[in-house]
């Protein structure tokens, strides 16, 4: 299986990498349900410790319908990352279309109590059949 490079963004010394994967076994196209998993890695390249407080996602399906998702932490955690440390987690997203995209941001607090946002890069949710193919 070909492994595509991750989608990646760096903001204020925090790197966010995302790898989406289509879950054919959990999808039911006849019922209008397509499901993806995504693996996220967050790396702290700052000289200070940071803690992830909240997340914000914008999910757009193949028809352009937008859903906003906000909440504390990631999968029930608010990880603390020292300099050079990484945190990984996996989650998922169902859509009513075989294509879509996600983008977002995490809010962190640094050791001095200041909050800042780190971008989550925009990434595509495409079934293997929906991906553009080179000529």
Tell how far CA 78 is from the center of its chain.
Answer: 15
CA nearest neighbour of 51 among 103, 8, 113 = 113
Percent of the chain's residues with pLDDT above 70 = 93
Interval 51-73: pLDDT, tens: 999 999 999 999 999 999 999 99
| Residue-level pLDDT at 106 | 98
Over the range 43-60, which residues count as b (16 or more CB within 10 Å of their CB) and which as e? bbebeeebbbebbebbbb
pLDDT band at 95 (very low <50, low <70, confident <90, very high): very high
């Amino acid at each position: 299986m070909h492994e595509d490079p991750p989608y990646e963004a760096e903001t204020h010394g925090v790197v966010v990498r995302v790898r989406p994967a289509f879950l054919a076994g959990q999808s039911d196209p006849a019922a209008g349900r397509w499901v993806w998993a995504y693996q996220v890695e967050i790396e702290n390249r700052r000289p200070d410790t940071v803690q992830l407080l909240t997340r914000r996602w914008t999910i757009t399906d193949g028809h352009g319908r937008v859903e906003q998702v906000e909440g504390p932490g990631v999968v029930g955690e608010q990880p603390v990352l020292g300099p050079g440390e990484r945190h990984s987690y996996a989650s998922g997203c169902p859509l009513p279309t075989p294509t879509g995209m996600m983008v977002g941001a995490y809010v962190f607090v640094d050791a001095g109590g200041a909050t800042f946002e780190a971008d989550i890069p925009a990434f595509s949710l495409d079934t293997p059949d929906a991906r553009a193919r080179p000529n």
